[in-house]
Amino acid sequence: MTERLERALREWKEASKGNVGGMVFGEYRYREPFERARNSAGLGKDVVFHTLRHTYITRLVSAGVDIRTVQELAGHKTIAMTMRYAHLAPANKRRAVSLLDAEVTANLTTVDFRQTAEQAVNSL
């Protein structure tokens, strides 16, 4: 749980004075309060309560959290299940390759292949 969410829940608890049975969306009746919150946020009807779980896991992976830690935070028994939730955007994949490229090329010198090719031809 993020610190921001923890603060929000503590504020909610204080403001609600326990009027909803200790649950954020009410006891097993989360649909209507969730839909009101979703609509207030301007989100489409395709956003369902379970979407929050997918978003949470995807954002952890996108932030660079290792998959094993994400698995534990999500409470999944297998990494395969975690991977079903971790929707990587193409930009994340490009960033990962760029990180590898930066790491590898930082310690390399460049080779002028044209000069090397000329040397090979001249040595014949």
Residue with the larger pLDDT of the pair 103 and 124 = 103
Are the beta carbons of 41 and 56 closer than 8 angstroms?
Answer: no
pLDDT of residue 30: 75
**In 3D, which of 37, 39, 38, 90 has the Cα closest to residue 62?**
90
DSSP tag of 66: -
Crossing angle of helices 67-74/51-62, nearest 10°? Answer: 150
Which helix H or strand E contains 34, and what residues bound it? Answer: helix 31-40
pTM of the model: 0.57
Task: Give the residue-averaged pLDDT of 93-103.
Answer: 81
Environment class of 61 (CB within 10 Å of its CB; exposed 0-12, middle 13-18, buried 19+): buried
Tokens of 102: 């930066």
pLDDT of residue 23: 60
